[in-house]
Amino acid sequence: MNKTELIAIAAENSGLSKKDAERVLNAAIDAITASLVNGDKVQISGFGSFETKDREARMGRNPHTKEAIEIPATRVPGFKASKALKDAVAK
């Protein structure tokens, strides 16, 4: 499923127009992104939680030249599914 399909299903299930459903989805994505940028955790009951994790610098290898390279430290987003979501998928 892609974003367009998700918007269509949300519009159909909620009775909103596709344009309104797209605005709602974009606003939710923007709010989640802004919270993660600020280092906050976002929890959605029954779905899961989004949070950022710090990755330490590490050594890696260029697969073509086999030369050792340093991979810098970075902050990455992460998602952890709730028990309810895991149980729904496992059925």
Predicted TM-score (pTM) of the model is 0.82
Q: Check if the beta carbon of residue 22 is closer than 8 Å to that of residue 29.
A: no
Each of the 91 residues of the chain gets a pLDDT tens digit; together they read: 999 999 999 999 999 999 999 999 999 999 999 999 999 999 999 999 999 999 999 999 999 999 999 999 999 999 999 999 999 999 8
